[in-house]
Amino acid sequence: MAESTQMEVEIATVAVPLPVKPIFKPLKAHEMSDGKVQFRKLPVPPNRYSPLKKAWLDIYTPVYDQMKIDIRMNLKSRKVELKTRADTPDVSNLQKSADFVHAFMLGFDIPDAISLLRMDELYVESFEIKDVKTLKGEHLSRAIGRLSGKGGKTKFAIENSTKTRIVIADTRIHILGAFTSIKVARSSLCSLIMGSPAGKVYSKLRSVSARLAE
């Protein structure tokens, strides 16, 4: 009786080998969408048609060669068309490329917009002056002047201290950067729209940028 219980204990303690862990290769972009091609179409504003023509090769090369996304300009519909290929390594490359082209359409320079392809934490935020304060006529013109400053001095100061890029297109403002940087830059621009003098905004920026650097 004692021997049989001992045998049972020994049988129970024998380790059962685990099955081999399966190794799954990462799915490619066309496999994720069941072999279907994914598209993005971006309309070209009339004022960006000529700059797009001049900078086409600078846009085409990183999108086609690095991101492995097909890109073409549809002259009939005046839209930039993007689509995934069989060798597209990641499905997110299509959206990154669309963001890059869209940033160029908004007025950002290619060296600034191309950072959207290389860094994940960057994005573009847009707002209008009337979202902050309803201004008309001379008051609106003065607000736009305050945002840029003499020779763009104020805009450059905000860009350099917050590590962002700002485009002021009439009454629309576009900011490219990381989440916290955009928040600080937008706060400074809103203060200027509300009528704060540039000196006050500079001093506030210095203290905030020093806090961000820590």
Which tokens is 17 given?
A: 């080998």
- 8 A C-beta contact, residue 142 and residue 122: no
Which superfamily does CATH assign the domain made up of 37-120 to? K Homology domain, type 1 (3.30.1370.10)
pLDDT at 77 over 60: yes
Which tokens is 15 given?
A: 């380790």
- Over residues 146-150, the mean pLDDT reads 84
Q: How far apart are alpha carbons 178 and 36 in whole angstroms? A: 33
pLDDT grade for 170, boundaries at 50, 70 and 90: confident
Q: How far apart are alpha carbons 168 and 185 in whole angstroms? A: 13
Please count the other Cβ atoms lying within 10 Å of the Cβ belonging to residue 110. Answer: 14
Give pLDDT, residue 20. Answer: 84
151-164 burial, b for 16+ CB within 10 Å, e for fewer?
eeebbebbbebbeb
Gyration radius of the chain's alpha carbons: 27
CATH topology of domain 124-213: Ribosomal Protein S8; Chain: A, domain 1 (3.30.1370)
| Highest-scoring range by mean pLDDT, 19-23, 29-33, 119-123 | 119-123
Which DSSP helix (H) or strand (E) runs through 70? strand 69-74
Domain with CATH 3.30.1370.10 in the chain: 37-120, 124-213
